[in-house]
Amino acid sequence: MINIILMKRKTLYRILSVLVTAAIFFAACTKEKSDIRLIPTLASTQTLNIKSDAATVVGFVVAQGDGFSEKGVCYSTSPAPTTATSKVAYTGQNNTATFNVTLPGLAYATKYFARAYAINASGTIYGAELNFTTLPVVPTMTTTAITAITGNAATGGGNVTVTGGAEVTARGICFGLNHLPTVSDTKTSDSKGPGAFVSALTALKGNKTYYVRAYAINSAGTAYGPEVSFTTLVDLPVVTTVDVTTISKTGAASGGNVTYDGGGTVTARGLAWGTTANPTIAGTKIDGGNGLGAFVSTLTALQKFTTYHVRAYATNSVGTAYGSDIQFTTLADIQTWNIPGNYVGASYPGTTMADWSPDKSPQVISTIAAPDKLEGYVYMANAANEWKFATQPNWNGPNYGDGGAGKLDANGGNIASTAGYYKLNANTTTMTFTAVKTAWGVIGDATPLGWGDETALTYSPTQRIWQGVMHLTAASIKFRANHDWGLNYGSDKADGKLGAGAANIPVSLESDYAITLDLSHPNAYTYTANRWGVIGDATPGGWGTDTNMTWDATNKVLKVTLNLTVGAIKFRANDDWAVNLGGLNLSALSNGGDNIPIAVAGNYTLTLDVLKAVPSCTVTKN
């Protein structure tokens, strides 16, 4: 009997010993052929070293004597192969029980059936049938010719004509500047499976020769189509625009950097500029030379306080490329004068300002709309004050004093003023000045005195603001000085910014309001009007609703008495978290500070002092 067995050698030897014993035992019992004695059952069989086009089969013969003229393996893609289909005869030593036969020329990814056979004078006998499947091979494919070639892109592709007996899990093209590119180089990913596909080659360099191969991947590996090549056209250059610097009233500096020539020659570069976005070389431009690299362009003869746009450009044989559009505005013709004098140190406590030091003095400034008219507010605390206008932050001049009758005179003496808060104006065209002492308040139908007169505010030298607390109804207010409508400020947008003679400021809810008026920044005057409350999980309204506070005119604090539970509180303005005070140090609250803990439930009186430079509060259990 012939048995086909494919296994590791230790297993084979065990089977040999068993089968030899069995052969000796059955030799005395049965004789199926004239000179061959076989065991009645067949051992299992295996294949070894299966490839895509070949496999090795191990055969085993158990018989009495020799007598075989041929032994080997027959195989087919159908069950029960015989020597009439395909066979491979064993050509090695005949005196061995086992024999190896390699089956060549197999088709990939194909299921085969195989049997060992032996031939003697009595005929052909077969061993047990086994089956195996050959491995797949890499796909077969073609590479499509490159089309739609530009300076930075092209179209290619391929066609997977044979999958190789396994799923094609990825396909595309790989490309580069060297021959035989692989998937380790730049590649596209264009779906999977068999068939044709189109690939987009992007981010290419101009005037360069590229090499391209289609690829396809299955479990056997990666296959490539034939290599094709193409050369890109010359592309546009690449240029960046440099940030604008040294901006003045009439000039600025910019430029660019040509980082790529597109594969051609950059014959011109520079800066295009104008008052509209994305200027081109058809408009105003500044030549910056040629070739690669950085260049600087200086813009001159610009208009004051005007918005301009600049773009760097670079030109080659294809055309002109531009950098990003950068916008800038020339400086306005605004003048700033300093007000040095013997009053500064005493009037601005807690600051670095100093007497008779132009660079450490208050200022008056002109506006864009009126560049020859300077304005500002200055506080003078001394009973007798002397001062001048200094046009520079030093004494290099010109410096102006009192020329009499409100005239500015470079040779004039010091200007004398009594104590007060002054609105200073200077006119550089008429060379005149005014110094008007002011006292500010709040007026309007929301105030205690209505539109008849302003309710006075108090000036705080340390904070440099006017402030006060008053009860306002749901109406409107303005700020006015000296009981005269000649000096009044309103707010067209009610946004905290003031303008001379601007609209009334609406008051939405009746309450006690802490009000500030800040005139310390020339031509940028602001105000606040805050009603205060207490909020927190310790309060009756929790974190959702404020409990309002009222003004204690005797103690100059906001005050409320209420029941609190164990929890925390904060102070909040206008029922909004934009302005909220907290902190564990009750003598120094800060905006956005920590919640204030309440450890014991009970009835409490809370006070809040918002008139000081650093707000504070008290929390007293009654």
Q: Are residue 129 and residue 150 in the same domain, yes or no?
A: no
Distance of alpha carbon 298 from alpha carbon 291, whole angstroms: 19
Tell me: do 180 and 292 sit in the same domain.
no
Helix (H, G, I), strand (E, B) or coil at 27: helix
Say if 249 falls within a structural domain.
yes
Computed over its alpha carbons, how large is the radius of gyration of the chain?
Answer: 49
Mean pLDDT, the chain, rounded, equals: 91
Do residue 161 and residue 198 come from a single domain?
A: yes
State how far the alpha carbon of 359 is from the alpha carbons of 336, 350, 363, 393, 412, in Å.
Answer: 11, 17, 9, 4, 21
Coil, helix or strand for 11? helix
CA dist 153 and 236 (Å) reads 12
Q: Please indicate, yes or no, if residue 237 is contained in any of the structural domains.
A: no
Q: What is the pLDDT of residue 92?
A: 86
- CA distances to 24, 42, 179 from 31, rounded to whole Å, are 12, 16, 70
Please report, rounded to a whole number, the percentage of residues in the chain having pLDDT higher than 90. Answer: 86
Cα torsion angle, 587, 592, 594, 598, sign:
positive
Residue 351 counted as domain residue: yes
* In a shared domain, residues 56 and 124: yes
* 328 in any annotated domain: no
Amino acid identity at 249: K
Q: Kindly indicate the confidence band of residue 32, based on its pLDDT and cuts at 50, 70 and 90.
A: very low
Asked if 14 and 113 sit in the same domain, the reply is yes
Which of 412, 437, 462 is the endpoint of a domain? 437
* Confidence band for 66, pLDDT divided at 50, 70 and 90: low
444 dihedral zone (left: phi>0; alpha: psi -120 to 50; beta): left
> Which of 317, 323, 327 is closest to 255 using CA atoms?
323
Per the rule left: phi > 0, alpha: psi between -120 and 50, beta: everything else, 20 is: alpha
Identify the residue with better confidence: 399 or 17. Answer: 399
Asked whether residue 322 is assigned to any structural domain, the reply reads no
Which comes out higher in pLDDT, residue 10 or 564?
564
Coil vs helix vs strand at 345:
helix
pLDDT of residue 94: 74
Residue 17 φ/ψ, nearest 5 degrees = -65, -40
Do 227 and 211 contact (CB within 8 A), yes or no?
Answer: yes
In this prediction, residues 92-119 reach a mean pLDDT of 89
Q: Is 11's pLDDT higher than 50? A: no
For 455, the token pair is: 């309710």
**What is the tally of structural domains in the chain?**
6
* Cα-based distances in Å from 529 to 451, 510, 566, 579: 18, 12, 31, 11
pLDDT of residue 46: 67
| % of the chain exceeding 70 in pLDDT | 91
Same domain assignment for residues 175 and 264: no
pLDDT number for residue 45: 52
Q: Is the pLDDT of residue 141 over 70?
A: yes
**Predicted pLDDT at 4:** 35
Range of the domain at 391: 336-437
Residue 399's CATH number: 2.60.40.3620
> Is 330 inside any structural domain?
no
Are residues 463 and 364 located together in one domain of the fold?
no
Distance CA 262, CA 610 (A): 66
Which tokens hold the place of 319?
Answer: 């055309």
Average pLDDT over residues 480-489: 98
Lowest-pLDDT choice from 18-32, 197-211, 584-598: 18-32
Residue 231's pLDDT is what?
98
What is the pTM (predicted TM-score) of this model? 0.61
CA–CA dist 9, 21 (Å, integer): 18
Residues 300 and 352 in one domain: no
Same structural domain, 119 and 6: yes
pLDDT higher than 80, residue 157: yes
Contacts of 493 (CB under 8 A, 6+ apart): none
Residue 340 to residue 391: CA distance in whole angstroms = 10
Domain shared by 114 and 31, yes or no: yes
Question: What DSSP letter does each residue of 197-224 carry, written as one string?
Answer: EEEEE-SPPTT-EEEEEEEEEETTEEEE
- Domain assignment present for 324: no
Find the farthest-apart pair of alpha carbons in the chain and give their distance in angstroms, rounded. 152
Mean pLDDT of 266-287: 98
Whether residue 326 is contained in a domain is answered as no
Same domain, 33 and 120: yes
Do residues 208 and 299 both lie within one domain?
Answer: no
* pLDDT tens per residue, range 380-409: 999 999 999 999 999 999 999 999 999 999
Q: How many whole angstroms separate alpha carbon 377 and alpha carbon 523?
A: 9
Q: Given a cut of 50, is residue 25 above it in pLDDT?
A: no
- 398-445 confidence digits (pLDDT tens): 999 999 999 999 999 999 999 999 999 999 999 999 999 999 999 999
Measured between alpha carbons, how far is 318 from 150 in angstroms, rounded to an integer?
11
CATH number, domain containing residue 117? 2.60.40.10
Of the two residues 4 and 171, the one the predictor is more confident about is 171
- State mean pLDDT over 214-218: 98
Q: Which residue, 45, 47, 29, 32, is CA-closest to 1?
A: 32
